[in-house]
């Protein structure tokens, strides 16, 4: 908690206390009050008690140790791609994906002064989503742990040549002036969040819903292993909407894949495809089956 800038600490302490009194309603998120994770938690469930956590690891730990019933974590952005480290953290957390939420992302440039500005602080994702805006104004991007935390940091810093890129609400929370709205480079900027819980949903209970299944796997180290592993999805007509690779460890010899498919275990076509995938894989872990919030395909 002491890692937050001073202007955010009082609000963090209030929200932590409220969540501790009713953990069944608590939803943990990464960042300071006013960040996009905070907004996403309230959009997903307006009756929840948002629990701010300084890091993604802290947000996941809050669910694991029972301080929160769910965590809401950004996993990918339409403009800037996947959120760093999430593909490593989700499989290692032992938690399960039980839902998803899509949220339009709009950033504001905010500061104590009126400009010009030498630097803008924000989360690397927000900086990447505003890259053209910053470059066109000669403002140096400076990475910070989260968007709203960057706004609180600028308020604490007291430097009138420093700005933050954050949701507009952060300016109200931390006493900054909104210099310009909608500084993201794409008007359709969208982030996909996933909801995590200690127990998975039962695919049988989702039989009447349009579902997604997310899993990670590592193929055997033999020629054409990935091609063979993917064949079962093609022959069984299972639509794979995401396939991303990342290196596991420092050897650069083991590649792990993160995938989303339409459908759920229990569907014969999905079961056959996953069985074939497992045959060609050294490791396969299903991270969850859940309702689609937005139709694919």
User: Residue 46 maps to which CATH number?
Assistant: 3.40.190.10
- Helix axis angle for 56-64 and 86-93, nearest 10°, is 10
pLDDT tens digit sequence for 213-236: 999 999 988 888 899 999 999 999
pLDDT tens digit sequence for 17-47: 999 999 999 999 999 999 999 999 999 999 9
Judge whether 1 lies within some domain. Answer: no
Which residues constitute the domain of residue 162? 108-180
Residues 172 and 214 in one domain: no
Residues 130 and 161 in one domain: yes
Judge whether 246 lies within some domain. Answer: yes
Judge whether 80 lies within some domain. Answer: yes
Residues 58 and 132 in one domain: no
SS3 211: strand
CATH for 247: 3.30.70.260
pLDDT at 110: 98
Strands of the sheet containing 281-291, edge to edge, are: 240-247, 255-262, 211-219, 281-291
Residues 12 and 95 in one domain: yes
| Rg value, the chain, Cα | 21
pTM: 0.92
Judge whether 277 lies within some domain. Answer: yes
Structure tokens at 267: 């569907």
Judge whether 76 lies within some domain. Answer: yes
Q: How many domains does one find in the chain?
A: 3
φ and ψ at 74, to 5 degrees? -70, 135
pLDDT tens digit sequence for 93-121: 999 999 999 999 999 999 999 989 999 99
Given a cut of 70, whether residue 297 has pLDDT beyond it is no
Residues 27 and 72 in one domain: yes
Q: Mean pLDDT of all residues in the chain? A: 93
Domain end, chosen from 149, 180, 211, is at 180
CA dihedral 157, 160, 165, 167 (to 10 degrees): 80
pLDDT at 78: 87
User: What is the rounded CA–CA span in Å between residue 135 and residue 129?
Assistant: 12
pLDDT tens digit sequence for 174-223: 999 999 999 999 999 999 999 999 999 998 889 888 999 999 999 988 88
Domain end, chosen from 153, 172, 197, is at 197
Domain end, chosen from 197, 224, 249, is at 197
What residues act catalytically? 191, 193
| Alpha-carbon torsion (266, 291, 237, 219), positive or negative | negative
pLDDT at 247: 78
pLDDT at 2: 56
């Amino acid at each position: 908690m002491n890692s937050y800038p001073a202007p955010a600490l009082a609000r963090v302490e209030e929200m932590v206390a409220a969540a501790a009194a009713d953990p069944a309603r608590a939803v943990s998120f990464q960042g300071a009050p006013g960040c996009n994770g905070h907004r996403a938690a309230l959009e997903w469930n307006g009756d929840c008690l948002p629990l701010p956590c300084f890091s993604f690891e802290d947000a996941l730990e809050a669910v694991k140790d029972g301080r929160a019933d769910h965590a809401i974590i950004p996993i990918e952005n339409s403009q800037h791609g996947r959120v760093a480290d999430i593909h490593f953290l989700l499989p290692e957390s032992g938690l399960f994906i039980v839902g998803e939420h899509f949220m339009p992302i709009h950033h504001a440039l905010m500061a104590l002064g009126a400009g010009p500005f030498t630097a803008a602080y924000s989360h690397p994702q927000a900086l990447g989503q505003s890259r053209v805006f910053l470059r066109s104004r000669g403002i140096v991007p400076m990475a910070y742990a989260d968007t709203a935390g960057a706004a609180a940091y600028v308020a604490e810093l007291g430097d009138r040549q420093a700005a933050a890129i954050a949701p507009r609400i952060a300016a109200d929370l931390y006493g900054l002036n909104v210099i310009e709205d909608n500084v993201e480079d794409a008007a359709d900027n969208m982030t996909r969040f996933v909801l995590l819980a200690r127990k998975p949903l039962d695919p049988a209970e989702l039989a009447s819903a349009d579902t997604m299944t997310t899993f990670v796997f590592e193929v055997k180290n033999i020629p054409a292993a990935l091609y063979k592993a993917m064949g079962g999805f093609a022959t069984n007509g299972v639509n794979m909407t995401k396939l991303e690779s990342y290196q596991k460890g420092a050897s650069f010899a083991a590649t792990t894949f993160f995938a989303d498919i339409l459908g759920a275990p229990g569907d014969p076509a999905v079961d056959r495809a996953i069985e074939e995938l497992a045959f060609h894989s050294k490791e396969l872990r299903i991270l969850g089956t859940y309702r689609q919030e937005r139709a694919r395909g």
